[in-house]
Amino acid sequence: GLENILRLGEQESKQNGIGINPYCALIEEAYGLDKIEFLQSHENQEIYQKAFDLIEHYFGVEEDDPSIVPQVDESQQQFVFQQQEA
């Protein structure tokens, strides 16, 4: 059931071009992700695997935004952080 809802949200986010699954956000706000993560310690292998697959597919690590990675000043060998533009 939950996987079908998340799959629908993924389709909607692609169609609307928003890029964020609205149902993932709602689940996270309601601490549902914590409950799914807890199921990864379940003794039943099938329940563990389903929880793992849901997290991996729908709540996996977001891609890094290269614009927020600090740059290195080669001449000084130090990190250079960009300042916010006003």
∠48-20-69 over CA atoms, to 5°?
A: 95
Helices (H), the chain: 2-16, 22-29, 32-38, 45-58
Rounded to the nearest 10 degrees, what angle do helices 45-58 and 2-16 cross at? 10
**Reported pTM:** 0.62
**pLDDT at residue number 48:** 95
Full pLDDT tens readout for the chain, 86 residues: 999 999 999 999 888 888 889 999 999 999 999 999 999 999 999 999 999 999 999 988 655 555 555 555 566 656 556 666 65
**Cα–Cα nearest to 55, from 20, 24, 29:** 24
- In angstroms, what is the C-alpha Rg of the chain? 19
- Is the Cβ–Cβ distance between 22 and 12 less than 8 Å? yes
Rounded to whole angstroms, the Cα distance separating 38 from 32 reads: 10
